[in-house]
Amino acid sequence: MCGIVGIFDLKEKREINRDLLSRMNESQHHRGPDEGNLYIEAGLGFGHRRLSIIDISSGQQPMISADNNVVLTYNGEVYNFLDLKKELEDLGYHFKTHCDTEVILVAWQAWGEACVQRFRGMFAFAIWDKNQQTLFLARDRLGVKPLYYAELSSGQFIFSSELKALKQHPNLLKTFDATAIEDYFGFGYIPDPKTIYKNVYKLEPGFCLTLKHGQPNYLPKQYWNLSFTPRLAQDEQATGEELIARLREAVKIRMVADVPLGAFLSGGVDSSAIVAMMAGLSKDPVNTCSISFGDPAYNESKFAAQVADRYNSQHHVEQVNADDFSLIDQLAGLYDEPYADSSALPTYKVCELAKKQVTVVLSGDGGDENLAGYRRYRWHKYEEQMRSWLPTHIRKPVFSRLGQVYPKADWAPKLFRAKSTFESISRDSLEGYFHSVSSLSNELRSKLFSTQLKQELQGYQALEVFKRHAVDAQTDNPLSLVQYLDIKTYLPGDILTKVDRASMAHALEVRVPLLDHQLVEWMAGLSPDMKLKGRVGKYIFKKSLETYLPEDILYRPKMGFAVPLATWFKGPLKEKIREALLGETMKQSGLFNQTFIEQMINQHQSGLKDYSTPIWSLLMFEAFLRTHH
């Protein structure tokens, strides 16, 4: 895994500042501590930081083609590179190395922009073609690897793996985008293609970008989208067998490395399935890594140990204590923009543990989005049934009123917390799903934001993110629609961002078999009833794994990877949140209603309401302001 940077002159071929390019490159040293190099010519500069995984002795970047006409800087892994290399050799091309980097370079020479369609893996790269005077950038289909870019007033186009590298450029304007702030407090992260700053963007998953000197107009182009069109039906047994065969193959091609390799093992279905497949493919015991929590409500370590024992893995466990919140400020520096998934804390810790043992790990990310594992999918299905039974003119006023009068029982078991469900049912399908996944409700965000921020928003709401993607969803099925929305937003914006930054902070490469795009396409074509059957999410996956994993691993309630925020904010962090959220940094930002923030803190700490999610979101925003501004 690596870090890439670049500067490209859109206007003319002016000299590139080597010192500036070097600073941008070195700001990502953590992503690639093994080597760092630059390539500079008139009007163009590439930088690269390398974490050596395959063909360690060669494969240095930026890589230049044998004829000196093409230059590449690349982050990621292309798992089918040996097949592509053979195909290219049959076409008459020759290779000097044994790495996937050169395969990308030669694939561009053979197939041009269409080369990206042939790559199977995770990647973000930039290619400079001297003959065509063309700069080409691409990001993998699911967004495993990040790619940021901006156009400056000087006419320079800059790009990088992390936002911190772009911030090294003195001409980058760091003006907040009000709609990105709304999105952040709506989702808990800033969905692609926005960043916290105006005119700074993420290249969206499955998109590419072509630029030329003297042609300042460019638009990202989508080269891949996911279709949920059902295929011909198969019986359960045949489908389950094919699912296991496809997963095993996706795992197998991700076990190629010239450095130590292992797996994350949480004790959940997805990570346990990955370890089961790895154990069947490896002659040596698999290295597995887990973290445990002192609080039993958050602790899955006994289930992880159960899987580790079954497959005789070399299992490593460390405990995260209930008061281990020392990373809060560090996270702000890691993510470069506001990011509010509290599981970033344990994810950072498990990456730290894994790096002590291995350089590459396989993870189980993506199973819930692809196979409908989240509880919210089940609730959405029930709500959709209610919407279909009752016409809008009856449903909307009745359930809206019920939502208003029903008490908000944060303290009660989920079964009795009907207020949110009533409010969701009163809305249409898209609004209802947004209400169920949003970090802060529309009402709460309205109370939280200052008059100034609301004026800047001009009526914009984070729901627009879902509306934009729903247009391209190519499905009328309610379950498939919300899966599509999560794959386009939550998966790259939250899950994969979290894993990339936490792993790269420790120079650890994470590979994700359940996000193999061929496997993802096949799973998308399964009948929705194969994914969510009654109350059982990931139904066909769990059925197919019954010979590999015990029942209490497969069918116990999902726990997630959370931390005890509500307890922290009433106890060890009680004073810290008051100092941070009611201090000068937040007041001077002019973005928030400080009176309402104080009211939330008082009500949370008195036990009247649970405001742990909005308080954490604000705490991470304050840490971002303090760290970066």
How many CB atoms are closer than 10 A to CB 148?
Answer: 25
Sequence-ordered alpha helix ranges (H) in 167-216: 178-187
Of the candidates 626, 588, 574, the residue with the CA atom closest to the CA atom of residue 329: 626
DSSP character at residue 43: T
* Catalytic option among 2, 99, 115, 289: 2
Q: List the structure tokens of 535.
A: 């109350």
48, 36 in Cβ contact below 8 A? yes
Of the candidates 135, 113, 110, the residue with the CA atom closest to the CA atom of residue 43: 135
Of the candidates 460, 454, 458, 462, the residue with the CA atom closest to the CA atom of residue 596: 454
DSSP character at residue 623: H
At 147 the three-state DSSP class reads coil
Q: Judging by beta carbons within 10 Å of its beta carbon (0-12, 13-18, 19+), is residue 170 exposed, middle or buried?
A: exposed
User: Residue 255 to residues 75, 287, 301, 460: CA-CA distances in angstroms?
Assistant: 18, 12, 24, 45
Q: Which residues pair with 41 in a beta bridge?
A: 44
The residue behind tokens 């002192």 is: 294
As a whole number of angstroms, the distance between CA 299 and CA 563 comes to: 10
Question: How many Cα atoms occupy the beta-carbon half-sphere of 238 within 13 Å?
Answer: 5
Peptide bond into 338 cis (omega under 30): no
As a whole number of angstroms, the distance between CA 150 and CA 242 comes to: 43
Torsion on CA atoms 493, 274, 140, 202, rounded to nearest 10: 20
69, 41 in Cβ contact below 8 A? no
2 catalytic per annotation:
yes
As a whole number of angstroms, the distance between CA 180 and CA 456 comes to: 11
Cβ neighbours of residue 21 closer than 8 Å, sequence gap 6 or more: 5, 7, 38, 40, 45, 47
Catalytic positions, please? 2
